[in-house]
Amino acid sequence: MPKTIIFSDLDGTLLDEATYTFESALPALDVIRAQGIALVLCSSKTRAELLHYRQRLHNDHPYISENGGGIFVPAGNFTVPLDAAPCATGECLITLGTPHSEIRRQFVALRQRLCVPVRGFTDMTVGEVAALTGLDLEEAALAKARDFDEPFVFGGAPEPAFLQAIEDAGLHWTQGRIFHIMGAHDKGLAVRRLLALYKQQYGRVTSIALGDSLNDLPMLQAVDRPVLVRHANGSFDPRIDIAGLTRTHSPGPLGWNEALLSMLSSQNSHQE
């Protein structure tokens, strides 16, 4: 029987995009926990933010931070060898991203050269990040603790010249609720790296991923069963349209819950 691995975005997917709550997903979360399924959080959020939500979710599985910049593997998850550096907390870190200090240096250089009105989280106070994101002050402070990428906003409409300059500099950008500048990594690279470890550990695996935004596209492309979660306004990200894609009926965590309960029920019936 294949081992099921679920990769999930947070904001607008497992978490409500306005309230950051996941109560609507509790039935599916209970099934996942009861069946011993690995739920891997794969988010644009920082390690500090993800530790906060893993505690709330009682989750002890590996997790992926900052759009694939870092893969954190808690002790005991794998017996196969890991090409990873130990962390002070006892976790192992597989680094795919460029250090934030270098990302920030190039971001500032591009901004100065192009005279573009763009601001990153590093330019903002905790209060400004909270106002922009809807996070409380404690979580906004965690969101500023970047390791691998820099979230940013334009002063007006997005400027394609700035986004192209990021690519020309050998970096990449993506977009969730806001833009991010980062190195040569994405969620898909991190998911594939972690799936390789799961396959070494368990042999056959079945992979599911759920996301709602452009930054989730590489993750959705990397799994067997991709799920696109509806936005709160009823829309889907039009840039995501891949073979085998399931679209949820409901938005956010309610749609997340419905899709996974249906998939896991169907999967279990086929295995009986």
pLDDT given for residue 204 in this prediction = 94
State the number of CA atoms in the 13 A half-sphere of 2 facing the CB.
16
CATH assignment, 100-182: 3.30.980.20
Q: Is it the case that residue 268 has pLDDT exceeding 90?
A: no
Q: How far apart are CA 231 and CA 242, in angstroms?
A: 18
Burial class (CB in 10 A: 0-12, 13-18, 19+), 12: buried
Other Cβ atoms within 10 Å of 265 Cβ, number = 11
| pLDDT digits 0-9 by tens, 97-123 | 999 999 999 999 999 999 999 999 999
3-97+186-271 has which fold? Rossmann fold (3.40.50)
Q: Rounded mean pLDDT of the chain?
A: 94
Confidence of residue 80 (pLDDT cuts 50, 70, 90): confident
User: The dihedral of CA 221, 30, 14, 9: what is its sign?
Assistant: negative
In this chain, the answer to whether the domains covering 3-97+186-271 and 100-182 adopt an identical fold is no
Q: Are 35 and 68 in contact (CB under 8 A)?
A: no
Nearest to 49 by CA among 121, 106, 153: 121
Q: How far apart are CA 159 and CA 39, in angstroms?
A: 36
Domain boundaries, the chain: 3-97+186-271, 100-182
Nearest to 187 by CA among 20, 13, 22, 58: 13
Q: Which residues are catalytic?
A: 9
| pLDDT digits 0-9 by tens, 143-164 | 999 999 999 999 999 999 999 9
Q: Is it the case that residue 88 has pLDDT exceeding 90?
A: no
